[in-house]
C-alpha cells in the first residue's frame, strides 16, 4: 500500500517538501524506527498558509448546512479508517491496541460527533435591541497538536475550526505523526475543498514557531507543554493574533473522608496511570485524610501492581511504553527526585519492569508521604507516577489542591454529593469531576492559570474560532 509518510497535504494535494529532509519515527516498544516522515521548513509553511489564505473567502461564505454536511462526511470516512487510526497510534506512541481502539481512536470519533451536534444548534447571529451580533470565522488558523492523544487533539481543533468556517494548517507532533497522516487521507477522501485543510510535519522550532509568527495566520491553537506554549505565545505576540492554549496540569484528586475509600483509591490509581500516565489532566496528586494515609498506600500499591505492562500489540496489555527516550529519561529523573527528597517509595521505582529488556517502559510507581513543595508534587511528570499527600481537613485539602501553577483539572470523591459539590466550588480548575463520571465530550475543556486559555469540545470550541461583529442600527 502506498503511504504518504514522506509528503505533506497542501492545497488539496499530496506534495513533496520544498527542501528534502526526513526523520525516523520510533516505535517506543522496540526503540526501533518503523517508518520515516518528511520534516518541513518555513518554505512549506509559506506554501500551506498561502493555500489556506486563498481558500478562506469562499469557505467562510459557505452555509452552516454545507459545513455540517462536510463534517458528517469526514465522520463517515473516519469510521471507515478506524482500525488504521488505532494501529497508527499503537505503533507511534506505544498505546496498547485495546486502548488505542477504545480510547485513542474513539476520542476522535466522539469529538467529531460532539462538534457536529454543537454546530447543528449553533447560532451565528442574534439581535440585541437594534444591534445585530454576528459571529464570523476568524480566518487562517495554525493548529499545533501533541503526541499523547493525537486524534483527540487533532479533531478538537480541526473540527471546530471547519465548523466555524475557518481554513487551517495543521502540524501534528513529529513524534507521533502517522495518525495525523491517516487523518489527512480522511480529509482528502471526504472531499474537503482545496486549501481549507493543510497538513505539514516538522519540528516545533522549524515549523510550529514559523506558523505561530506567520503574518497571514490569524489564530494559533496549541496543545502541549507550558514551556512550549510560552514560546508559541511570545512568537504570536508580534502579529497580535489570537492564541488558544491547552497546556500542562498537576491535577489534585481529593478523597474526602466520606468517600467509598477503596473504590476511590483504586479508580484514582487507574486514572493516574491510564495512557501510561501521559495525560495532561491525569489525577497525579492524590489527597487523603492524614489518619488513613497508610491504608491508602496499601490499596494504591495493590492497584498499581495489578497493571499488565508490555507489548502494545497484545490484547491483554494495559500499559505500554512511554513515547520516547526523552520522556523515559525525564520520568526516571523525577522518580529519582522523589526518592532523594524523602518520599516513601511504595511500589515501582526507577528502571524498566523486570520482565522487559527493551522499550521505553516505566514501572507503575506510587509515592507516599509526599509533602507539598517536593519536586514530584510540583512538576508535571507525564508518566505512571502517583503522589499521595495527607490533608487535615477540607480547608487544608483545598489549599493543597489549589497550590499549583496549573489549573487544568481536579477531582473530588465523596458519597455525599452535596459535600463533593461544596469542595468542587472552591477548586481553581477548568474542569472538576465528581466521583469518576464518564468522559463528557460536551463539557468545556481547558485550564486556569498556566494550564492555558480558551476552551475545547463541542460548541465551546467553535466559539474560539470566531470573531464578534456588532452591526449597530441594523434593526432600525
What CATH number is attached to the domain comprising 122? 3.40.605.10
> Given the DSSP bridges, would you call strands 167-171 and 140-144 parallel, antiparallel or unpaired?
parallel
Q: Indicate if 285 and 362 belong to the same structural domain.
A: yes
Structural domain contains residue 2: no
Domain containing 408 equals 252-443
Q: Indicate if 316 and 188 belong to the same structural domain.
A: no
pLDDT digit string (tens) for 229-280? 999 999 999 999 999 999 999 999 999 999 999 999 999 999 999 999 999 9
Q: Indicate if 263 and 196 belong to the same structural domain.
A: no
Structural domain contains residue 476: no
Structural domain contains residue 464: yes
Cell digits of residue 452: 492555558
Question: In this predicted structure, which of 1-10, 72-81, 353-362 has the lowest mean pLDDT?
Answer: 1-10
Structural domain contains residue 217: yes
Is residue 3 predicted with pLDDT exceeding 90?
A: no
Q: Indicate if 438 and 382 belong to the same structural domain.
A: yes
> Given the DSSP bridges, would you call strands 242-246 and 344-347 parallel, antiparallel or unpaired?
unpaired
Q: Indicate if 259 and 232 belong to the same structural domain.
A: no
pLDDT digit string (tens) for 369-393? 999 999 999 999 999 999 999 999 9
What mean pLDDT do residues 422-433 have?
98
Structural domain contains residue 369: yes
pLDDT digit string (tens) for 54-102? 999 999 999 999 999 999 999 999 999 999 999 999 999 999 999 999 9
Number of domains in the chain: 2
The confidence score (pLDDT) of residue 1 equals 55
pLDDT digit string (tens) for 22-62? 999 999 999 999 999 999 999 999 999 999 999 999 999 99
CA distance 186 to 92: 18
Q: Indicate if 113 and 257 belong to the same structural domain.
A: no
What CATH number has the domain bearing residue 307?
Answer: 3.40.309.10
Structural domain contains residue 28: yes
Q: Indicate if 215 and 274 belong to the same structural domain.
A: no
What mean pLDDT do residues 109-134 have?
98
Q: Indicate if 327 and 372 belong to the same structural domain.
A: yes
Structural domain contains residue 165: yes
Just list the catalytic residues.
Answer: 246, 280
Helices (H) and strands (E) in the chain, counts: 16, 20
Q: Indicate if 411 and 283 belong to the same structural domain.
A: yes
- pTM beyond 0.75: the answer is yes
Q: Indicate if 356 and 369 belong to the same structural domain.
A: yes
Choose among 163, 143, 164, 140: nearest CA to 152.
143
Q: Indicate if 387 and 457 belong to the same structural domain.
A: no
Q: What is the dihedral of CA 104, 106, 111, 117, to 10 degrees?
A: 180
Q: What is the dihedral of CA 224, 317, 182, 68, to 10 degrees?
A: -80
Q: Strand locations in 66-209, DSSP E?
A: 125-128, 131-137, 140-144, 167-171, 197-199
Q: Indicate if 134 and 264 belong to the same structural domain.
A: no
CB atoms < 10 A from the CB of 351, how many?
12
The confidence score (pLDDT) of residue 476 equals 83
Structural domain contains residue 1: no
Q: Strand locations in 52-106, DSSP E?
A: none
The confidence score (pLDDT) of residue 355 equals 97
Amino acid at each position: 500500500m502506498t503511504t504518504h509518510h514522506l509528503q505533506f497535504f497542501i492545497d488539496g494535494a499530496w506534495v513533496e517538501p520544498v527542501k528534502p529532509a526526513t526523520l525516523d519515527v520510533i516505535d517506543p516498544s522496540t526503540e526501533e524506527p518503523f517508518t520515516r516522515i518528511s520534516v518541513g521548513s518555513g518554505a512549506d509553511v509559506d506554501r500551506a498558509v498561502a493555500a489556506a489564505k486563498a481558500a478562506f473567502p469562499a469557505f467562510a461564505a459557505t452555509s452552516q448546512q454545507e459545513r455540517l454536511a462536510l463534517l458528517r462526511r469526514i465522520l463517515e470516512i473516519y469510521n471507515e479508517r478506524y482500525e488504521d487510526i488505532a494501529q497508527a497510534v499503537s505503533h507511534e506512541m506505544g498505546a496498547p491496541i485495546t486502548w488505542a481502539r477504545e480510547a485513542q481512536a474513539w476520542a476522535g470519533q466522539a469529538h467529531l460527533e460532539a462538534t457536529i451536534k454543537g454546530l447543528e444548534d449553533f447560532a451565528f447571529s442574534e439581535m440585541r435591541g437594534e444591534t445585530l451580533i454576528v459571529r464570523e470565522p476568524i480566518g487562517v488558523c495554525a493548529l499545533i497538536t501533541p503526541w499523547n492523544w493525537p486524534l483527540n487533539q487533532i479533531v478538537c481543533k480541526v473540527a471546530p475550526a471547519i465548523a466555524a468556517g475557518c481554513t487551517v494548517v495543521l502540524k501534528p507532533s513529529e513524534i507521533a505523526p502517522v495518525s495525523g497522516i491517516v487523518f489527512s487521507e480522511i480529509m482528502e477522501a471526504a472531499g474537503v475543498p482545496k486549501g481549507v485543510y493543510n497538513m505539514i510535519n516538522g519540528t516545533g522550532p522549524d515549523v510550529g514557531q514559523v506558523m505561530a509568527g506567520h503574518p497571514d495566520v490569524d489564530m494559533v491553537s496549541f496543545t502541549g507543554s507550558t514551556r512550549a506554549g510560552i514560546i508559541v505565545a511570545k512568537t504570536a505576540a508580534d502579529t497580535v493574533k489570537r492564541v488558544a492554549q491547552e497546556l500542562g496540569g498537576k491535577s489534585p484528586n481529593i478523597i474526602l473522608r466520606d468517600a467509598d475509600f477503596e473504590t476511590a483509591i483504586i479508580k484514582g490509581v487507574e486514572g493516574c496511570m491510564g495512557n501510561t500516565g501521559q495525560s495532561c489532566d491525569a489525577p497525579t496528586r492524590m489527597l487523603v485524610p492524614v489518619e488513613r494515609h497508610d491504608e491508602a498506600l496499601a490499596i494504591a500499591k495493590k492497584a498499581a501492581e495489578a497493571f499488565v505492562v508490555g507489548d502494545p500489540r497484545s490484547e491483554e496489555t494495559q500499559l505500554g511504553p512511554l513515547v520516547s527516550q526523552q520522556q523515559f529519561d525525564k520520568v526516571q529523573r523525577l522518580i529519582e527526585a522523589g526518592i532523594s527528597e524523602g518520599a516513601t517509595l511504595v511500589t515501582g521505582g526507577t528502571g524498566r519492569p523486570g520482565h522487559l529488556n527493551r522499550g521505553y517502559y516505566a514501572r507503575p510507581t506510587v509515592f507516599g508521604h509526599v509533602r507539598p513543595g517536593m519536586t514530584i508534587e510540583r512538576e508535571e511528570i507525564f508518566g505512571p507516577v502517583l503522589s499521595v499527600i495527607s490533608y487535615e481537613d477540607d480547608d487544608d485539602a483545598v489549599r493543597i489542591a489549589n497550590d499549583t501553577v496549573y489549573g487544568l483539572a481536579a477531582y473530588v470523591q465523596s458519597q455525599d454529593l452535596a459535600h463533593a459539590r461544596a469542595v468542587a466550588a472552591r477548586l481553581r480548575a477548568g474542569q472538576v469531576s465528581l466521583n469518576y463520571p464518564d468522559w463528557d465530550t460536551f463539557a468545556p475543556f481547558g485550564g486556569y492559570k498556566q494550564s492555558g486559555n480558551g476552551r475545547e469540545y463541542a460548541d465551546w470550541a467553535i466559539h474560539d474560532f470566531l470573531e464578534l461583529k456588532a452591526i449597530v442600527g441594523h434593526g432600525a
